[in-house]
């Protein structure tokens, strides 16, 4: 099947308005008879379900947590971008569009990104009207900050809890629709498959996590807004339950999976402290504005620190290597996330790491404290310093923080066209789960923007264009052979896991997969490593199915079974990520191939060969997938090599 991105004709700034005035509409009386399933109630799914409910559709929404308010979006800290130009510093829709394309290293689709920049402004209006308490200035107007090294102040924020406040806004809108009975909410439900009837997505199979019951739900269209897949690495900044299963099940049923290898590794996270570790914690990127990053110049100093014989304060000024300032004098400690992360890894791999695992670098506020005083630093970063001290048990006013990069966000995801429809008709994908707007690398504060743009302002329009042809379809029965088959498959998988009689807990396999991915498909990749990872992952997958042990019963609450079902899918996704990384013989954004770098060790893109979206078609668990290419055409920006020297 050829990929058709369905980009509307016309100039870039007119496409969306033109599209909206030409799409088919569903009249109010008909909407009531049309059912839509929304899986996921984070920013993307919560906003979509609430908006579709308001419009009059009959919506069923699903999440695996005990409440829609707990989706992983809640954890986002820094802020949300919007081209409001409230600060009068020259921001505009075009500039946000341009920054996003450039930040994505010229691997995103122009038309989608421009639409995102356009609707970014409506998001802020909507959220304020809902009562989202954004930070304000003394005059009572909204405050902004600059984020992630851009030249304008366009980031709206609510202390360090922007994601929480935005999600609670979407949750309140959703609650209103639940009360109005336009949305039926299914908490503690996990989607385990999508059901396709006559080539169209017509429903899902879900497991009630409290009773273990397998349920059938039908609809005229299905929306997946199920978040990112960073947990394939076992350790990431994602919530424990974040998973790929919904997206992966869709992939197995015909939805292409695009750019799976594009992973964002965030430079300022707390380092791993030992084998007990279950997740990694992000420290806000804003810390790089005043902290200086360094490691010792001398190996013997680093070794002494690793053995606990010395600490940072024992290293004299002249023996400190401020490697970012050294390598990137123009941007220094503020280079983009991918550049900062790789530089930390380079130093640690060379043996200069500063904790017992050898995988940490210093983020030092001593200099800023000398310059601005402790009070000023406390006023700016007090809560972050407190959080650091709680976890690391060290006082960052006295000793430099220790940080290390961690997996944070996945740019890749289910391939969608301009309408956010996957390659399966009637199946849509929104938020972090799709691949659409960030190319090979996402800018800070742009994920929240994309999730809400998709959910409030894009999907409610584009889905109507499809549903307009469904008004005569009538209710979709759930007793069809297609539902029978999908349910039988799900039950078969669960039975197999329950009756496996293995010996090892799920975490054992997840950790093996995670370290394989981190070592060979993490911050830097090469052909040899990727080939060996593919083989290793296949082995881990076999081992998992032979030796995993699931206690308890499938007909009751069983968190271990939930984990097993998710890890089973990660074990397939991991292989695809490595294949994608192997195919992409260039370095771009979050994907760094060691064979493709400049003499100074910087990422080297090959626009002549790789200016395309790599969309993979599933061909069977143990068969090689087929690659489809969506060529990327840049008519409004010129492709340039990024430089931060």
Ligand X SMILES: Cc1cc2nc3c(=O)[nH]c(=O)nc-3n(C[C@H](O)[C@H](O)[C@H](O)COP(=O)(O)OP(=O)(O)OC[C@H]3O[C@@H](n4cnc5c(N)ncnc54)[C@H](O)[C@@H]3O)c2cc1C
* Residues found near ligand X in the complex (CB under 6 A): 39-45, 62-65, 71-73, 75-80, 162-163, 189-191, 225-228, 237-238, 242-243, 245-246, 282, 408-409, 431-433, 445-448, 451
Contact in structure between 148 and 170 (CB atoms under 8 Å):
no
The per-residue b/e assignment along 613-623, b for 16 or more CB within 10 angstroms, e otherwise, is bbbbbbeeeee
Strands (E) in 121-220, as ranges, are 155-156, 183-186, 189-197, 200-208, 214-218
Give the Cα separation of 597 and 346 in Å (integer).
14
Task: Decide if residue 51 touches another protein (CB under 8 A).
Answer: yes
Give the Cα separation of 444 and 82 in Å (integer).
12
H/E element, 631: strand 626-631
Task: Decide if residue 54 touches another protein (CB under 8 A).
Answer: yes
Binding window for another protein (CB under 8 A); candidates: 5-13, 154-162, 347-355, 485-493: 154-162
Stretch 196-235: interaction string toward another protein, x if CB under 8 A: --------------x-------------------------
Instruction: Find the farthest-apart pair of alpha carbons in the chain and give their distance in angstroms, rounded.
Output: 77
Give the Cα separation of 166 and 327 in Å (integer).
38
Task: Decide if residue 394 touches another protein (CB under 8 A).
Answer: no
The entry of ligand X, another protein, none near residue 127 (CB within 5 to 8 angstroms by kind) is another protein
Q: Which is nearer to ligand X, 222 or 305 (CB)?
A: 222
* Least distance from another protein to the Cβ atom of residue 132, Å: 8
Task: Decide if residue 67 touches another protein (CB under 8 A).
Answer: yes
**Considering only residues 134-153, where is the footprint of another protein by CB under 8 A?**
134-142
Task: Decide if residue 491 touches another protein (CB under 8 A).
Answer: no
Q: How many residues does the chain have?
A: 645
Task: Decide if residue 554 touches another protein (CB under 8 A).
Answer: no
Task: Decide if residue 472 touches another protein (CB under 8 A).
Answer: no
Task: Decide if residue 175 touches another protein (CB under 8 A).
Answer: yes
Contact in structure between 99 and 642 (CB atoms under 8 Å):
no
**Considering only residues 586-615, where is the footprint of another protein by CB under 8 A?**
none
Binding window for another protein (CB under 8 A); candidates: 101-109, 271-279, 288-296, 475-483: 271-279
Q: Which is nearer to another protein, 143 or 215 (CB)?
A: 143
* Least distance from another protein to the Cβ atom of residue 80, Å: 12
Residue 407, classed as helix, strand or coil, is: strand
Instruction: Pick one of 31, 69, 220, 342: the residue that binds another protein (CB under 8 A).
Output: 69
Report phi then psi at 190, rounded to 5. Answer: -120, 125
Instruction: Pick one of 276, 481, 499, 600: the residue that binds another protein (CB under 8 A).
Output: 276
Q: Which of 188, 187, 235 is nearest to 209 (CA)?
A: 188
H/E element, 617: strand 612-617
Task: Decide if residue 159 touches another protein (CB under 8 A).
Answer: yes
Give the Cα separation of 435 and 426 in Å (integer).
18
Instruction: Pick one of 111, 117, 124, 588: the residue that binds another protein (CB under 8 A).
Output: 124
Contact in structure between 204 and 37 (CB atoms under 8 Å):
yes
The entry of ligand X, another protein, none near residue 488 (CB within 5 to 8 angstroms by kind) is none
The entry of another protein, ligand X, none near residue 560 (CB within 5 to 8 angstroms by kind) is another protein
Instruction: Pick one of 552, 594, 609, 640: the residue that binds another protein (CB under 8 A).
Output: 552
* Least distance from another protein to the Cβ atom of residue 485, Å: 31
What are residue 410's DSSP bridge partners?
A: 263
Give the residue numbers marked as catalytic. Answer: 337
Q: Which is nearer to another protein, 279 or 531 (CB)?
A: 279
Q: What is the DSSP letter of 454?
A: I
Give the Cα separation of 610 and 580 in Å (integer).
12
CA within 13 Å, CB half, 407: 28
Q: Which is nearer to ligand X, 218 or 587 (CB)?
A: 218
Report phi then psi at 565, rounded to 5. Answer: -65, -35
* Least distance from another protein to the Cβ atom of residue 272, Å: 10
Tally of CB atoms within 10 A around 560? 15
The entry of another protein, ligand X, none near residue 597 (CB within 5 to 8 angstroms by kind) is none
Instruction: Pick one of 128, 471, 637, 639: the residue that binds another protein (CB under 8 A).
Output: 128
Binding window for another protein (CB under 8 A); candidates: 35-43, 131-139, 371-379, 441-449: 131-139
**Considering only residues 279-308, where is the footprint of another protein by CB under 8 A?**
279, 281
Q: Which of 370, 369, 401 is nearest to 385 (CA)?
A: 401
Give the Cα separation of 356 and 377 in Å (integer).
28
Binding window for another protein (CB under 8 A); candidates: 1-9, 215-223, 505-513, 609-617: 505-513
Contact in structure between 204 and 434 (CB atoms under 8 Å):
no
């Amino acid at each position: 099947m050829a990929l058709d991105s369905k980009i509307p004709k016309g100039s870039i700034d007119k496409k969306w308005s033109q599209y909206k005035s030409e799409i088919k509409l569903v009249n109010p009386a008909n909407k009531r008879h049309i059912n839509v399933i929304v899986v996921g109630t984070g920013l993307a799914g919560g906003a979509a379900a609430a908006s579709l409910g308001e419009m009059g559709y009959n919506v069923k929404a699903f999440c695996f947590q005990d409440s829609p308010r707990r989706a992983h979006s809640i954890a986002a800290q820094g802020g949300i971008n919007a081209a409001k130009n409230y600060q009068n510093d020259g921001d505009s829709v075009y500039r946000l569009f341009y920054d996003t394309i450039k930040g994505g290293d010229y691997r995103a689709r122009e038309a989608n990104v421009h639409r995102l920049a356009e609707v970014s402004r409506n998001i802020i209006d909507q959220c304020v009207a809902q009562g989202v308490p954004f930070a304000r200035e003394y005059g009572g107007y909204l405050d902004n900050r600059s984020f992630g090294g851009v030249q304008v102040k366009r980031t709206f924020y609510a202390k360090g809890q922007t994601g929480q406040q935005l999600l609670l806004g979407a949750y309140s809108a959703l609650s209103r629709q639940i009360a109005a009975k336009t949305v039926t909410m299914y908490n503690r439900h996990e989607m385990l498959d999508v059901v396709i009837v006559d080539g169209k997505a017509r429903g899902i199979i879900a497991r009630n996590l409290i009773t273990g019951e397998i349920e059938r739900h039908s609809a005229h269209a299905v929306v997946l807004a199920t978040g990112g897949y960073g947990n394939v690495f076992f350790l990431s900044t994602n919530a424990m339950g974040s998973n790929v299963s919904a997206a992966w099940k869709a992939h197995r049923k015909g939805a292409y999976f695009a750019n799976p290898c594009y992973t964002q590794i965030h430079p300022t996270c707390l380092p791993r402290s030992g084998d007990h570790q279950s997740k990694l914690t992000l420290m806000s990127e804003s810390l790089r504005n005043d902290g200086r990053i360094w490691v010792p110049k001398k190996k013997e100093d680093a070794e002494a620190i690793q053995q606990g014989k010395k600490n940072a304060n024992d290293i004299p000024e002249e023996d400190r290597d401020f490697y970012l300032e050294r390598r990137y004098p123009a941007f220094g400690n503020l280079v983009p996330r991918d550049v900062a992360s790789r530089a930390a890894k380079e130093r640690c791999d060379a043996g200069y790491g500063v904790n017992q695992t050898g995988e940490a670098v210093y983020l030092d506020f001593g200099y800023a404290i000398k310059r601005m005083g402790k009070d000023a630093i406390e006023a700016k970063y007090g809560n972050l310093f407190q959080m650091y001290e709680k976890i690391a048990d060290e006082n960052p006013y006295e000793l430099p923080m220790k940080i290390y990069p961690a997996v944070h966000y996945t740019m890749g995801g289910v391939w969608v066209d301009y309408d956010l429809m996957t390659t399966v008709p009637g199946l849509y994908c929104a938020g972090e789960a799709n691949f659409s707007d960030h190319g090979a690398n996402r800018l800070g504060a742009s994920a929240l923007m994309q999730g809400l743009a998709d959910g409030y302002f894009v999907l409610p329009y584009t889905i109507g264009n499809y549903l307009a042809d469904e008004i005569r379809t009538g209710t979709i029965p759930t007793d069809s052979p297609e539902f029978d088959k999908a349910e039988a498959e799900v039950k078969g998988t669960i039975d197999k896991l329950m009756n496996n009689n293995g010996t090892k807990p799920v975490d054992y396999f997840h950790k093996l997969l995670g370290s394989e991915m981190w070592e060979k498909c993490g911050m830097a990749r090469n052909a040899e490593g990727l080939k060996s990872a593919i083989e290793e992952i296949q082995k881990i997958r076999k081992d998992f199915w032979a030796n995993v042990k699931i206690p308890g019963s499938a007909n009751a609450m069983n968190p271990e079974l939930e984990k097993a079902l998710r890890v089973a899918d990660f074990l397939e996704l991991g292989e695809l990520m490595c294949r994608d990384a192997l195919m992409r013989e260039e370095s771009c954004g979050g994907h760094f191939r060691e064979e493709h770098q400049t003499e100074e060790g910087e990422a080297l893109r090959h626009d002549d060969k790789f200016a395309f979206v790599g969309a993979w078609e599933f061909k069977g668990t143990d068969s090689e997938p087929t690659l489809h290419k969506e060529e990327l055409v840049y008519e409004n920006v010129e492709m340039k090599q990024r430089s931060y020297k």
